[in-house]
Amino acid sequence: MNGNRGSLLGLALLGGLKPLLAAAPSSNGAGGRNDKLDRELAAIVQDPACELASLSVLAVRNGKLAYEGQFGRRRIGNAASPNLAPDLPANRDTLYRIASISKMMTTLGLMRLVEDGKLDLDADVSGYLGFGLRNPHFRERAITLRHLLTHTSSLRDEAGYSFPAGTALREFVVPGSRLHGEGKMWASKAGPGDYFTYCNLGWGIIGTLMERVTGERFDRLMQGLLLQPLGLTAGYHLAGLPAPALANLATLYRKRTLDTEVWDAAGPWIAQVDELRTEVRTRPPAPPAGIEAYVVGENATPFSPTGGLRISARDMGVVMLMLMNGGVHEGRRLLAEGTLERMFARQWTADGKGGNGDTLNGFFNCWGLGNAQFPDQPGLRLVEGAFDAVGHLGDAYGLRSVFAFDRKRKNGMIVLVGGSSSDPGNHKGRYSALARFEERALTSMFQHAIAGQAR
């Protein structure tokens, strides 16, 4: 789920030492304030064992907004750096780079193209890409969109998954081509359909073929397929965001340097991505380097279909409600109910022995088309309660994110963490593969905003 370090924007060392909560938490769900939940979430953010830079959450109960809250700082100031803005709190419109939840959003756009007959989930993707996409160890076996969407394509991330504008993906994935090298992007022991291995590169392929069949650049294509029809202020490219959104963009932080694994909980918050100077936040940032050489349908990775969507928790809630309503938003059908049934139908389940896939230490146990699934079973569930969920997780540049909802009960939760002061791996959850602070936030929201326990 981690993002690619080669695409980092505006990195800076910040030394903010002010109290973590620069402003009081904000919560104004449809049911009114929830003071007990406010206090519990604020305590999670302030926990000295693992402080959080910011936290934005949203809960839906029975298909209606039940709670939303924001805590901490979307931007941590530093008086020693005059080009940086002062501390600014997270608010309900703060946008985050949501990491791998972007894959699920990309999938929603893809499924609209499937509905329109532009794509077939079980066709050889070579026909869409304009070149042969074949694992050289299993040349006789076609790779399909279903393989890509379920991480069973036999592609791997070991050789990279994000490339500069002007670089054609075919030069990377086709044996004998200029950038193919040792071929580490291909599994040698498992062919298409054989084995689940989470793969970011697959979504670069997906975004590229979406461009190829439509003739439109990926970031603009997703605006038309998903973001604009839902009325969302969001985008896969910073330069495409309006000035107010840029001013409300969350910088992602860790208390560790960018290119090492050394954490210092007593040290400063260090920006990892989306640290924009003050003047940049008032006008669009520069487009990606080399964009003048961009050829639609050759390489969509500069726009990160795999992890680059910037969006607020509130707007993610709009997507969730559309899915809960069977593909309908404000009376307009965006996706057919049958399409969503196909998308959320179980495609892969771990056998519990590692024989059919890598669960990434328990993060991935069940999978649909472009979505993870979290059955309400010991070791697989996200909360301590009746919450049988589908959705996606994200983890990149300090951000941890959760988008999960129960389709039957129409209950759902969104969690966006803007960074942590210590390694989340050292704060393991008690009943899941999540970090303990994620478990606490999800279970607290479930208990107080969904299950309806006493406030």
Task: Evaluate whether residue 166 is within a structural domain.
Answer: no
Task: Evaluate whether residue 373 is within a structural domain.
Answer: yes
Task: Evaluate whether residue 205 is within a structural domain.
Answer: no
**Residues 6+ positions from 314 with CB-CB distance below 8 Å:** 58, 68, 92, 93
Q: Distance from CA of residue 202 to its chain's centroid? A: 15
Question: What percentage of residues in the chain have a pLDDT greater than 90?
Answer: 82
Host domain of residue 414:
5-98+235-287+308-450
26-27 and 64-75 as β-strands: parallel, antiparallel, unpaired? Answer: antiparallel
Type of residue found at 123:
A
Measured CA to CA, the distance from residue 150 to residue 293 in angstroms comes to 32
End-to-end CA distance of the chain: 35
Residue 259 has pLDDT above 60, yes or no: yes
Type of residue found at 163:
F
pLDDT score at 170: 98
pLDDT score at 86: 80
Main-chain dihedrals φ then ψ at residue 72, nearest 5 degrees: 75, -160
For 94, the token pair is: 């703060």
Cα dihedral sign for 274, 275, 281, 283? negative
Residue 85 has pLDDT above 90, yes or no: no
Task: Write down how long the chain is.
Answer: 455
Task: Evaluate whether residue 325 is within a structural domain.
Answer: yes
Nearest to 90 by CA among 253, 272, 278: 253
**Residues 6+ positions from 377 with CB-CB distance below 8 Å:** none
Bridge partners of 366, per DSSP, are 349
Measured CA to CA, the distance from residue 189 to residue 252 in angstroms comes to 37
**Residues 6+ positions from 430 with CB-CB distance below 8 Å:** 436, 439
pLDDT score at 292: 86
Range name among 120-134, 188-202, 287-301 with the lowest pLDDT average: 287-301
Digit-coded pLDDT (tens) for 126-177 = 999 999 999 999 999 999 999 999 999 999 999 999 999 999 999 999 999 9
Measured CA to CA, the distance from residue 143 to residue 186 in angstroms comes to 12
Q: What are the CA-CA distances from residue 116 to residues 296, 339, 341, 416 (Å)?
A: 20, 11, 16, 33
Task: Evaluate whether residue 204 is within a structural domain.
Answer: no
Task: Please count the structural domains in the chain.
Answer: 1
pLDDT score at 287: 80
For 351, the token pair is: 């056998």
Residue 453 has pLDDT above 90, yes or no: no
Bridge partners of 71, per DSSP, are 55
Q: What is the mean pLDDT of the chain?
A: 90
Digit-coded pLDDT (tens) for 393-412 = 999 999 999 999 999 999 99
Task: Evaluate whether residue 164 is within a structural domain.
Answer: no
* Model confidence band, residue 442 (pLDDT cutoffs 50, 70, 90): very high
**Residues 6+ positions from 19 with CB-CB distance below 8 Å:** none
Measured CA to CA, the distance from residue 233 to residue 293 in angstroms comes to 27
* Model confidence band, residue 280 (pLDDT cutoffs 50, 70, 90): low
For 434, the token pair is: 């999540």
Measured CA to CA, the distance from residue 305 to residue 75 in angstroms comes to 25
Q: What is the CATH number of the domain that holds 378?
A: 3.40.710
Residue 2 has pLDDT above 70, yes or no: no
Angle among Cα 302, 308, 311 to the nearest 5 degrees reads 140
Measured CA to CA, the distance from residue 439 to residue 446 in angstroms comes to 10
* Model confidence band, residue 454 (pLDDT cutoffs 50, 70, 90): very low
Q: Which helix (H) or strand (E) holds 104?
A: helix 101-115
Task: Evaluate whether residue 376 is within a structural domain.
Answer: yes
Task: Evaluate whether residue 68 is within a structural domain.
Answer: yes
Work out the average pLDDT over 81-90: 74
Residue 13 has pLDDT above 50, yes or no: no
pLDDT score at 295: 96
* Model confidence band, residue 342 (pLDDT cutoffs 50, 70, 90): very high
Residue 340 has pLDDT above 70, yes or no: yes
* Model confidence band, residue 291 (pLDDT cutoffs 50, 70, 90): confident
Main-chain dihedrals φ then ψ at residue 143, nearest 5 degrees: -105, 130
Tell if the pTM clears 0.85, that is, is over it: yes
pLDDT score at 10: 27
pLDDT score at 29: 45
Angle among Cα 440, 442, 448 to the nearest 5 degrees reads 95
Measured CA to CA, the distance from residue 431 to residue 440 in angstroms comes to 11
